[in-house]
Amino acid sequence: MSDNINSTKILLVGAGPMAMDYMKVLSALNAHVTVVGRSEKSAIEFEAKTGHIAIAGGLDLFLEQHLASEYSAAIIAVGVEQLAATTALLLEKGFLKIMVEKPAGMNSDEIQKLAILAKQKNADVLVAYNRRFYASVIKAQEIIEADGGITSFNFEFTEWAHVIEPLTKAPGVKEKWLLANSTHVIDLAFFLGGNPVKISSYAAGKLNWHNRSIFSGAGISDKGALFSYQANWEAPGRWVIEVLTPKSRLLFKPMEELQIQLKGSVAINKVELNNEYDIAYKPGLYLQTRHFLQGEYDNFKTIQEQAKISLIYDQIAAGN
């Protein structure tokens, strides 16, 4: 269950839990990996859990002694607050193939600046939304194409505020939680149904760590599909996406699974998936990483695309 990419030399930036997930995949792909973290503590923990050495001291120090030409690509798996600065540093040092964890920055301004810099450097910077590579999503794409396309879709990105509030995060991260976390859902909904060309957004409520807590809106996508969304972070709920075609209603609830309701029936049935990779690794991560290393970018979001839609994320977060 592995693909051999043993000629590929990867710089993996970060030594936390997400970097460990990437290391598991990269090991299965037989890639040559250099891991760079910041603290000695995280480096020791990384090696203990993965069996792979991580170099402590941070990226700046590491790049004083190593060149971009030594590596085929870089994967950035650091905290949200470090994503933009880390990506910019790699671009300035000559890295031209970068996959950065979502959402690539703390705010739309950081993301916009990264998009400009990547274009100036003629670099491929891809934003890692791993849910695009779920077996459930791949199967849904097949059904959507066979059915003749999407006519409408709706989604919910309710977050469990009572769980998030006590979490220890870097300053500003929880205040940008919709961008930092909820866009997993929003990105996938727009990936399947098309990006908004018209959208009306409403937001209300307030938490002591997030400016708004209740969200609702609707619009039309560039695929001609009508869409709506809602989320209430002060009430029970979960992440959900529903996609409708002329023949089927496809339900992601949870998003690792796919359920289908056929036209003329009220029965909702589970769709069988070829999901061995999603079981063996963090869901979506194996195919995402393999496609990145092989230069297969069709299902990825570029940093330029992220910069454009980040303004929509701002609108959803604040209301019109």
Three-state DSSP at 114 gives helix
What does the block give as tokens for 308?
């454009």
My answer on whether 126 and 137 are in the same domain is no
What is the pLDDT, as a whole number, of residue 320?
84
My answer on whether 21 and 82 are in the same domain is yes
My answer on whether 308 and 204 are in the same domain is yes
Given 130, 153, 173, the domain boundary residue is: 130
What does the block give as tokens for 85?
């600065």
- Could you tell me the residue range of the domain that residue 269 belongs to? 132-276+303-318
Place of tokens 């002329």: 246
Three-state DSSP at 49 gives helix
What is the pLDDT, as a whole number, of residue 1?
46
pLDDT per position as a tens digit, 18-45: 999 999 999 999 999 999 999 999 999 9
- Four-CA torsion 18, 22, 24, 27, nearest 10 degrees: -150
Burial class (CB in 10 A: 0-12, 13-18, 19+), 318: middle
Which residues of the chain carry a pLDDT beneath 50? Answer: 1-2
Region at 249 (left for phi over 0; alpha for psi -120 to 50; beta for the rest): beta
What is the pLDDT, as a whole number, of residue 8?
79
Given 76, 111, 130, the domain boundary residue is: 130
Given 110, 130, 150, the domain boundary residue is: 130
Within 13 Å, how many C-alpha atoms sit on residue 204's CB side? Answer: 6
Three-state DSSP at 145 gives helix
Helix (H) and strand (E) counts in the chain: 12, 15
* Cβ atoms of residues 70 and 53 within 8 Å: no
My answer on whether 13 and 67 are in the same domain is yes
Q: Which of 242, 249, 253 is closest to 264 using CA atoms?
A: 249
CATH number for position 31: 3.40.50.720
What is the pLDDT, as a whole number, of residue 269?
98
